[in-house]
Structure 1
Amino acid sequence: MTPAGPQDLRADLEIISNHVPVAARVLDVGCGTGDLMASLVAHRQVDARGLEIDGANVAAAVARGLSVVQGDADVDLADYPDDAFEVAILSQTLQTTRHPHLVLAELLRLAPRAFVSFPNFAHWRVRLSLLWGGRMPVTRLLPLQWYETPNIHHVTVDDFRAYLADRRITVERAWFLNRDRPTSAAAANFRAEHAVFLIRR
């Protein structure tokens, strides 16, 4: 089966795929079944490694010929040496980690640059759901009920920006998506469903 081209990936993964340097050494943390990795290997000639907590996803990725190991970002990133990669990727995984600040620190220990994408919990639909319904939101990007969701640390665009500023982490670029289409950085905390940041030490 031919790996998906960047245009066939989920919107945040397409952005990441289009901006990973050709032939880079890449670690994809929370790589799922390896869609992004497969695209990067086929279309950007990267040396890709993956870390994934779900055993079934690991098996599916390995069956595709990808180098993926089962592991937990909260504890297993410590096993990698400093600067083992040129780029680290954490897509739609940050909010599921127990200690997101430590995971982010590990990403920037392992690589000088990292892509981080996450659903924005301050999007207006989420706010409206809480305001009018008084219940935890269920949306296209947050499709599970509160008792089923893996999300344990709800993060907003402004929370993430403040975190980076406090730690003097540089934002090289940021992309904001609404309905999988680019939206302006202006009022992104209110308007964007999803954010992608490229950060560096």
Structure 2
Amino acid sequence: MNPVVIDSLHTRPDFRAIARWVEPRATVLDLGCGDGVLLALLAKELDVKGYGIEINDAGVLACVKHGVNVMQQNLEDGLRLFEDDSFDFAILSQTLQTIHQTAAILRETVRVGKECIVSFPNFGYWPHRFAVLRGRMPVSRSLPYQWHNTPNVRVLTIRDFEALAPEVGIEILDRVVLHGGRAVRWGANWRGSLAVYRVKRSG
């Protein structure tokens, strides 16, 4: 396996959770795919046919180097290029918190994907709460940026996402909450630093 893929697996615990839900030989759309490592992993391990969307020039170049099919596009412009249920799985892997049009993108994601997987850092994690109580914005492994250079434009918790889901026509099928790569079984909204959801369009 490409060593870049191995290194990324160590730093992105949501990748393994995502891989467990994706079916072999599925078609996958990765929205905000970054360097394309997740799609490269899924292609190698599950023989998926994957496509990525990424706005950043460096990310697009990295995708090409990893052999990933990528389109350079701003997610904020929507997914009008794709028909309903175009893919078996659509993935928003730690992308949701970087988007301004959150509700619109979620609706579009479950429109183009028969099933979808969404992961995001949980701002309800207790050290994050404690940092705010001390008067500072949190910085951690799951939130590695300072307030002035973070790509995150939305702040959400596990409970926030679960409250929003029915409002935007999303049915939650499964959930895993992680910290340090391990599943958090209880007190997820304050003990988990990363949430991963398997969802689909409701109705």
Q: TM-score, normalised by structure 2?
A: 0.92
Instruction: State how far apart, in whole Å, the 2-side matches of 1:124 and 1:155 are.
Output: 13
Instruction: State how far apart, in whole Å, the 2-side matches of 1:58 and 1:168 are.
Output: 31
Offset at 1:143?
Answer: 1.4
Gaps of 5+ in 2: none
Aligned pairs for 1:145-184 within 5 A: 145-184=146-185
Select which of 39, 52, 69 maps to 2:71. 69
The amino acid across from 1:113 in the alignment is: E
Aligned pairs for 1:98-113 within 5 A: 98-113=100-115
Which residue does 1:57 correspond to in 2?
Answer: 59
Offset at 1:2?
Answer: 3.4
Which residue does 2:39 correspond to in 1?
Answer: 37
Identity fraction in percent: 40
Offset at 1:156?
Answer: 0.4
Select which of 91, 94, 100 maps to 2:93. 91
Instruction: State how far apart, in whole Å, the 2-side matches of 1:168 and 1:38 are.
Output: 30
Which residue does 2:138 correspond to in 1?
Answer: 137
Instruction: State how far apart, in whole Å, the 2-side matches of 1:150 and 1:2 are.
Output: 27
Which residue does 1:194 correspond to in 2?
Answer: 194
Q: TM-score, normalised by structure 1?
A: 0.93
Instruction: State how far apart, in whole Å, the 2-side matches of 1:50 and 1:167 are.
Output: 23
Offset at 1:169?
Answer: 2.1
Select which of 111, 119, 122 maps to 2:121. 119
Offset at 1:168?
Answer: 4.9
Gaps of 5+ in 1: none
Which residue does 1:21 correspond to in 2?
Answer: 23
Offset at 1:76?
Answer: 4.2
Offset at 1:8?
Answer: 3.5
Offset at 1:187?
Answer: 2.0
Q: How many residues align?
A: 199
Instruction: State how far apart, in whole Å, the 2-side matches of 1:177 and 1:101 are.
Output: 24
Matched residue of 1:78: which SS? coil
Which residue does 1:2 correspond to in 2?
Answer: 2
